[in-house]
Amino acid sequence: MRYAKKTAMMFAISMCMISGGAAQAGSASDPGDYVAKINGTTLTMEEVKTEMELRPEAVQGFLQQHGGAAHFVDSLVTKEILYQEALKHDLDQLPRLQELVRDFRKTTLASLLVEKKLSDKIELNDEVLQRYLHENAEEFTVKTAVQVSKIVVETPEKAREVQARLAASDDFAVVAQQFSRHEESAANGGDLGFVGRQALPSDLAHHAFNVLRQGEISAPIVQSGGIYFLKVSDYRGDLPEFDKIRQLLTQQVAPHLRQNAFEQYLAELKEEYQIEINQEALRGLTTSLGQGPAAHPLPADGELP
């Protein structure tokens, strides 16, 4: 298993290295300065260094830690072989190639712009991390019990009625009293009080403890005993010490801050540009693409397990 994981990692790194660079092998100014030759095409030391600098920091770090110079050069040789083979098949003459080049140029320039503009706008320190922890305490809390309510119905037809009522923001307790076949909890608006994980079937426990946040209502959950809807109203648990989850917080907060900074920057740019959307063309495009599948399809009537 460890060998398989390492092999998969090396494959991913190789593909990243093959696809990530823009430098191209050429002719070395000093005959002794080449690193590799492929059918007379020379790969110089300078080109290898340039290729390395174009790679993500994670790839560079991986190669440095694992002594991967030979592996990196092999990936460049592979890319050159594939490039030369593509030329033999006249793939450079394909009209679509220019479209791909233009798209790559746009994407690359856009990425460089975002990196330049956002690099000094993201401040990550303990104060920021602690504020994020306070605002998202439930996400990091190890829950010992949740206050959960449920609605249980027997048929997909009834489940669709319940789903429609809840989607219309009808009160969960009222819907539970009207529809739930679990009489004891239905009388209390579906409320089961605070329960531990072991008090619920495994699938329901997973939704109540791991999926739903406070105040959220689940999609229909099909079980052998019926179709369930759950609502978590409150929770109890322990929040880990800040120092023990600082690294985890950093991993989560950094992309969050970057996304917020990007959205703010993009909003500012859109104010400066004149943008016009052809709504008629958009409707035609939407129609041609069709509608996606329902997010939470219910079984047909009579198909309840």
Domain parsing of the chain, residue ranges: 2-92, 94-140+241-271, 142-238
- Please say if the pLDDT value at position 7 is more than 60: no
Q: Which pLDDT does position 175 carry in this prediction?
A: 96
- Band the pLDDT of 18: cuts 50, 70, 90: very low
Rounded to the nearest integer, the mean pLDDT of the chain is 84
C-alpha separations of 275 from 146, 174, 239, 269, 272 in Å: 48, 46, 46, 11, 9
- Please say if the pLDDT value at position 150 is more than 90: yes
- Residue 192: both structure tokens together: 């089961």
Range from 21-25, 55-59, 228-232, 286-290 that averages highest in pLDDT? 228-232
- Residue 188: both structure tokens together: 């209390």
- Please say if the pLDDT value at position 50 is more than 80: yes
Question: What is the helix (H) or strand (E) element at residue 17, kind and residue range?
Answer: helix 2-20
Decide: pTM greater than 0.75.
no
Question: What is the helix (H) or strand (E) element at residue 118, kind and residue range?
Answer: helix 95-118
Average pLDDT (97-123) is: 89
C-alpha separations of 63 from 2, 145, 169 in Å: 19, 45, 54
Average pLDDT (179-187) is: 93
As a CATH number, domain 142-238 is: 3.10.50.40
- Please say if the pLDDT value at position 10 is more than 60: no
Contact 41, 25 (CB under 8 A): yes
Lowest-pLDDT range of 98-112, 141-155, 274-288:
274-288
Average pLDDT (197-211) is: 94
Residue 256, C-beta contacts closer than 8 angstroms, at least 6 positions apart: 132
Average pLDDT (74-86) is: 91
- Please say if the pLDDT value at position 12 is more than 50: no
The residue ranking higher by pLDDT, 79 or 7, is: 79
CA distance 166 to 217: 9
Q: Which pLDDT does position 301 carry in this prediction?
A: 52
- Band the pLDDT of 268: cuts 50, 70, 90: very high
Q: Which pLDDT does position 115 carry in this prediction?
A: 87
Lowest-pLDDT range of 16-20, 113-117, 133-137:
16-20
The residue ranking higher by pLDDT, 6 or 265, is: 265
Give the other-Cβ count within 10 Å of 234's Cβ. Answer: 12
Average pLDDT (238-252) is: 91
- Please say if the pLDDT value at position 201 is more than 80: yes
The residue ranking higher by pLDDT, 12 or 73, is: 73
Instruction: Give the CA dihedral 80, 81, 83, 86, nearest 10 degrees.
Output: 170
Average pLDDT (53-81) is: 77
- Band the pLDDT of 124: cuts 50, 70, 90: confident
Average pLDDT (10-24) is: 47
